[in-house]
Structure 1
Amino acid sequence: MSDKADFDYFMSCLIKAGTKIDSHYFKLPVAGAEKPIFREQVYCYELYHQLRCILGDDFPYKLDGEVDKAAHPILKGAKKPDFIVHVPGTMDRNLVVIEVKSANEKTRINGIRADLQKLRSFLDTAKYYRAIMLVYGDSESSLPKRVRCEIDSLPREHAEHILLIWHKKPNAKPEVIK
């Protein structure tokens, strides 16, 4: 398969995985708290689980979460992305790098910019085919619109390779925001 075909297949699996994430993994109930709260790690672990189940063992890439690239001889100092889809041990089979953010009122634009810079670094240095900024939760949030503006303000060679995906509600289909 080509990178495009592999990426398209991965995207179909990512969308399918999103429909299997229930409310517990979107907002975690907390003892003594009035309302459940966003916990990015809880969401990411469930997304990882669902993706691994759907991708299966025949997918030619590996899905890894929070791989620390600080000691990597080529990616020196790069931070840990939430997910990478790659063939370990080579730099010519890097499919997609993913950052995840919850759509809560505390998510700051500086954190978004740092994540976008991380995605840009992986596109440039590690030659990932695509990057994804995945925002989950709160269908009334203005965060996806702000993220879209930030992506659109990037140089074209980056903006064209970073997809924004918004997973608005549990058990719902995530959507690509253009």
Structure 2
Amino acid sequence: MTILAALEQATEAIEAPYFLLPIAGRDLPIKRERVYCYELFHQLRLALRDSQLTLTGEPDKRGHPDFPPINPDFILHTPGGHEENTAVVEVECRVGLEHLIKDFRNLKTMRDRGYGTLVLLLFANSNVPWPKLAQAAREADIGLGEIAVLLHRAPGLAATREHPPAPTAA
């Protein structure tokens, strides 16, 4: 199963309290990336159970001789070597430019170390902010077309792969 297919299956299984966290004393739940990521990790492990690759959550690259000190949200690889650096996933619910630039810089760093599939998974958003993504990609010096952008709109629905709008004719 590809990482994109596994992400589709895993995101569909995420239930409401992991998607938006209910808070005592508040009327509305809030977005919490860490809560979402822990459940996504669990669901991805289930989806990838037959894979020979290892899913690692927030691997701390400090002190690693081949990486700067970054912590991508998820990597799919064979630990101990660079032969099967398969995929890296950055998860984001905040679509501010600074967050997107950081995520894209992490994706670029991992691409430069041999990771073949680069994924930005946006959750709890109704649409993809393409102009911000394009600006963040430019500032991070990575092609937006190199990144699979997934949008997870609501619990119980699978994330969908999104594509930038076609340029309009002048």
1:88 equivalent in alignment to 2:88: no
The runs of 5 or more residues in structure 2 that have no matched partner are 164-170
**Does the aligned pair in 1 maintain the 2:105–2:140 contact within 8 Å?**
no
CA–CA separation in structure 2 for the residues paired with 1:167 and 1:24: 15
Residue matched to 1:165:
150
Pick the aligned partner of 1:32 from 3, 25, 29.
25
Aligned residues: 163
Deviation of 1:13 (Å): 1.4
CA 1:40–1:146 in structure 2 vs 1: closer, same or farther (change >3 Å)? farther
Equivalent position SS for 2:101: helix
Partners of 2:140 and 2:41 lie apart in 1 by 30
1:15-94 aligned at under 5 Å gives the runs: 15-56=8-49, 58-75=50-67, 77-94=68-85
CA contact (8 A) 2:75 2:88 kept: yes
Distance in 2 of aligned mates of 1:156 and 1:72: 23
Query: 1:176 aligned to 144, 147, 161, which one?
Result: 161
Distance 1:152 1:79 in 2: 18
- State the match for 1:101 in structure 2: 92
Alpha-carbon distance in 2 for matches of 1:71, 1:155: 23
Residues 79 and 109 of structure 1: is their aligned pair in 2 closer, same or farther, counting only changes over 3 Å?
A: same
Task: Give, in angstroms, the shift of residue 15 of structure 1.
Answer: 0.3
Paired residue type of 1:175: T
Unpaired stretches in structure 1, ≥5 consecutive residues: 1-5
Q: CA deviation at 1:32?
A: 1.2
Give the fraction of aligned pairs with identical amino acids, expressed as a percent: 33
Aligned CA RMSD, in angstroms, stands at 2.1
Q: Equivalents in 1 of 2:107, 2:38: separation in Å?
A: 20
Residues in 1 aligned to 2:118 and 2:135: alpha-carbon distance in whole angstroms: 14
Inter-CA distance 40–31: structure 2 relative to 1 (3 Å threshold):
same
For residue 116 of structure 1, what is the amino acid of its counterpart? F
Matched residue type, 1:84? I
Give the TM-score taking structure 2 as reference length.
0.87
1:1-56 CA-partner distances (Å, limit 9, x unpaired): xxxxx6xx221111011110111111100111221000001100111101111211
Alpha-carbon distance in structure 2 between the residues aligned to 1:154 and 1:163: 18
Q: Write the letter of the residue equivalent to 2:106.
A: K
* Inter-partner Cα distance in structure 2 for 1:168 and 1:33: 22
**Partner SS for 1:38:** coil
The whole-number CA distance in structure 1 between the counterparts of 2:57 and 2:138 is 28
- Determine if the alignment matches structure 1 residue 131 to structure 2 residue 118: yes
